[in-house]
């Protein structure tokens, strides 16, 4: 496992982070004992950042049960506020504060390392960048979190976040993958100029770059051009006899300009595959064949969030 510095936070973070959305049963049932066992496996690995959210079902509750005080000390812990259901968003200062208090109780800790506003691109971001950010700053000043940030999808939104607020970190998803170079080419230069740490997520493009396909319960938000490129990559993977998801994870983890890539998993074998993907050298000739299929998909916007935020 490699480690990188997260912006100017001073945090040394593993290039693979663990995302807990699958543990909250967003993608199907999962026994609590199996969820806690997987968290223990993460803690015993070299992964040192765990990302969660109240939106992820009962993931915070399960994580809190697994994180004993001794285990908590070695983990960089992040949670979020603002999104609580598929269409349930509230970024008001009072709800952000209440969300923090609820998360601290559920997680069994008196602080989190990283506290972010979740999927801000689904609402008018003006008040989020003013009133919402001000509440984040107050919570940071009170010691309830060490670092603050915002998460979501569109690059344009997060350029604005970085330029108009003093966030420490930003997390975007689906923007540093085999299909999309937006984070690396368009967001990283701005983030690096401002000293903001970047986190990458959705290395397999919400399932497009897996043999089984989309992991979202609704129609996949990627446009046809992106889905065609993904299908071409999957067909090439079959031809080459390789696992497309493994290559997608390798590329996202090793080549992104973000400090870390958040990988969600509900099975030990997928977790261990992601850890291997962080260390196993990429076959450059093979990678070039896949990247040759990227152009029609690259930097294409998915149908996510408010149109004016894209």
Q: Which of 55, 56, 84, 153 is catalytic?
A: 56
DSSP alpha helices (H): ranges in the chain? 32-44, 59-66, 69-72, 93-107, 125-127, 133-141, 155-164, 182, 188-194, 224-240, 244-255, 268-279, 284-291
- The position carrying tokens 């080459």 is 240
Number of Cβ atoms within 10 Å of the Cβ of 60: 25
- In angstroms, rounded to a whole number, what is the distance separating the alpha carbons of residues 9 and 195? 9
Q: Residue 204 in 3-state DSSP?
A: coil
**DSSP symbols for 241-256:** T--HHHHHHHHHHHH-
Residues in CB range of 237: below 8 A, 6 or more apart = 211, 243, 244, 247, 290
56 catalytic residue (yes or no): yes
Tokens, residue 238: 């079959």
Residues with catalytic function:
56
């Amino acid at each position: 496992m490699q480690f990188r510095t997260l912006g100017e936070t001073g945090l040394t973070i593993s290039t693979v982070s663990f995302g807990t959305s699958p543990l909250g049963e967003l993608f199907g049932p999962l026994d609590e004992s199996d969820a806690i066992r997987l968290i223990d496996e993460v803690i015993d690995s070299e992964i040192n950042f765990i990302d969660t959210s109240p939106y992820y079902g009962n993931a915070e509750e399960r994580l809190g049960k697994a994180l004993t005080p001794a285990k908590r000390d070695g983990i960089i812990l992040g949670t979020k506020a603002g999104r609580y259901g598929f269409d349930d968003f509230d970024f008001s200062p009072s709800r952000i504060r209440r969300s923090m208090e609820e998360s601290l109780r559920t997680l069994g800790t008196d602080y989190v390392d990283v506290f972010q506003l979740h999927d801000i691109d689904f609402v008018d971001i003006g008040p989020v960048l003013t009133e919402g950010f001000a509440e984040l700053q107050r919570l940071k000043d009170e010691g309830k979190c060490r670092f603050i940030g915002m998460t979501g999808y569109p690059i344009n939104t997060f350029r604005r976040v970085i330029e108009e607020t003093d966030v420490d970190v930003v997390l975007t998803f689906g923007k540093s993958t085999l299909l999309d170079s937006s984070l690396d080419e368009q967001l990283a230069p701005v983030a690096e100029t401002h000293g903001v740490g970047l986190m990458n997520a959705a290395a397999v493009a919400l399932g497009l770059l897996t043999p089984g396909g989309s992991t979202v319960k609704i129609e996949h938000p990627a446009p046809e051009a992106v889905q065609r490129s993904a299908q071409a990559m999957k067909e090439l993977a079959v031809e080459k006899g390789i696992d497309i998801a493994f290559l997608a994870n390798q590329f996202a983890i090793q080549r992104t300009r973000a400090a870390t890539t958040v990988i969600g998993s509900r099975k030990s074998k997928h977790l261990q595959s992601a850890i291997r993907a962080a260390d196993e050298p990429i076959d450059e000739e093979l990678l070039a064949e896949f990247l040759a299929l990227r152009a029609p998909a690259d930097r294409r916007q998915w149908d996510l969030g408010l149109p004016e935020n894209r």
